[in-house]
């Protein structure tokens, strides 16, 4: 089954409780954390995560676009994230391993993320430790960007790695996913689709979530 993870980056933060409730038929709440250094934008962090934890039963998928996530992963787990993903570009391989270990020791799911210019092979050192791998289909930093269809061979390659080495691992895509591009992502082997603007701009959010399942 294809899972949908609406990104609340596209929600109205003045009405965040309402906008989290609006995606109750989805599978994850995708929570984008940006530090202004790893990406050229600053978004939301630990206090906001704690607040939305109180208003949703859905698992929260925290996508950390921050340098040296190893210093913060435990705080995100304690704040209520169910799954925490770290960019492989954000620190040394040793520290990324350590970050994954810290997330698991909190009893939460862990994963790695690759930016568009990062090769599929970059996930291999971590794949056995991952509950999910996230492939960016835009440059991280902003919602509402154009889907990079040229990432599909990378998604297919990582799907192959997952099937061979850790079949329980989920494969997520993030950026520019809508009712058209979702089909390409599913065909390439993704099973979790992040969608921000496609979901929050929809007149009927539950209907859009259904449509994105392909």
Residues acting as catalytic residues: 32, 174
Q: What is the DSSP letter of 35?
A: B
> What is the chain's Cα-based Rg?
16
Instruction: Identify which range of 89-97, 125-133, 147-155, 169-177 contacts Zn ion by CB under 5 A.
Output: 169-177
Instruction: Identify which range of 31-39, 91-99, 110-118, 142-150 contacts Zn ion by CB under 5 A.
Output: 31-39
Instruction: Identify which range of 95-103, 120-128, 156-164, 191-199 contacts ligand DX5 by CB under 6 A.
Output: 191-199
| Angstrom distance (rounded) from CA 5 to CA 207 | 14
Name which of residues 42 to 101 contact Zn ion (CB under 5 A). 63
**32 near ligand DX5, judged by CB under 6 A:** yes
Supply the minimum distance, in Å, between the C-beta of residue 87 and ligand DX5.
10
Question: Sheet containing 83-87: which strands, arranged edge to edge?
Answer: 3-6, 192-195, 170-174, 132-136, 109-114, 83-87, 60-65, 29-34
Binds Zn ion by CB under 5 A, chosen from 19, 27, 32, 170: 32
| Dihedral angle sign, alpha carbons of residues 79, 213, 129, 134 | negative
| Angstrom distance (rounded) from CA 6 to CA 103 | 22
**115 near Zn ion, judged by CB under 5 A:** no
**174 near ligand DX5, judged by CB under 6 A:** yes
Q: What is the DSSP letter of 30?
A: E
In the Cβ-directed half-sphere of 141, how many Cα atoms lie within 13 Å? 10
Instruction: Identify which range of 44-52, 122-130, 150-158, 189-197 contacts ligand DX5 by CB under 6 A.
Output: 189-197
**197 near ligand DX5, judged by CB under 6 A:** yes
Which string of x and - marks every residue 130-169 that binds ligand DX5 (by CB under 6 A)? --------x-xxxxxx------------------------
> Residue 83 or residue 105: which is nearer to Zn ion going by CB?
83
179 backbone dihedrals φ, ψ, rounded to 5°: -65, -15
| Angstrom distance (rounded) from CA 169 to CA 119 | 18
| Angstrom distance (rounded) from CA 4 to CA 192 | 6
How many amino acids of this chain bind ligand DX5 (CB under 6 A)?
22
| Angstrom distance (rounded) from CA 31 to CA 60 | 7
Supply the minimum distance, in Å, between the C-beta of residue 167 and ligand DX5.
25
- Footprint on this chain of ligand DX5 (rule: CB under 6 A): 7, 9-10, 30, 32, 63, 138, 140-145, 174-177, 194-198
């Amino acid at each position: 089954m294809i899972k949908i993870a609406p990104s609340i980056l596209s929600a109205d933060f003045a009405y965040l409780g309402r906008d989290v409730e609006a995606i109750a038929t989805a599978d994850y709440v995708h929570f984008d954390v940006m530090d202004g250094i790893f990406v050229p934008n600053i978004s939301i962090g630990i206090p906001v995560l704690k607040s939305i934890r109180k208003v949703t039963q859905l698992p929260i998928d925290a996508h950390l676009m921050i340098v040296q996530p190893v210093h913060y992963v435990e705080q995100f787990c304690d704040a209520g994230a169910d799954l925490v993903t770290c960019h492989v570009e954000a620190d040394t391989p040793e520290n990324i391993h350590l970050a994954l270990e810290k997330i698991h020791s909190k009893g939460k799911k862990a994963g790695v993320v690759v930016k568009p210019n990062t090769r599929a092979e970059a996930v291999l050192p971590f794949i056995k430790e991952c509950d999910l791998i996230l492939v960016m289909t835009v440059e991280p930093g902003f919602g509402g960007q154009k889907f990079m269809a040229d990432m599909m061979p990378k998604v297919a390659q990582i799907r192959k790695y997952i099937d061979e080495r850790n079949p329980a691992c989920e494969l997520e895509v993030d950026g520019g996913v809508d009712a058209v591009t979702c089909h390409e992502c599913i065909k390439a082997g993704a099973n979790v689709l992040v969608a921000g603007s496609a979901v929050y701009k929809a007149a009927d959010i539950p209907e859009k979530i259904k449509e994105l399942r392909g």
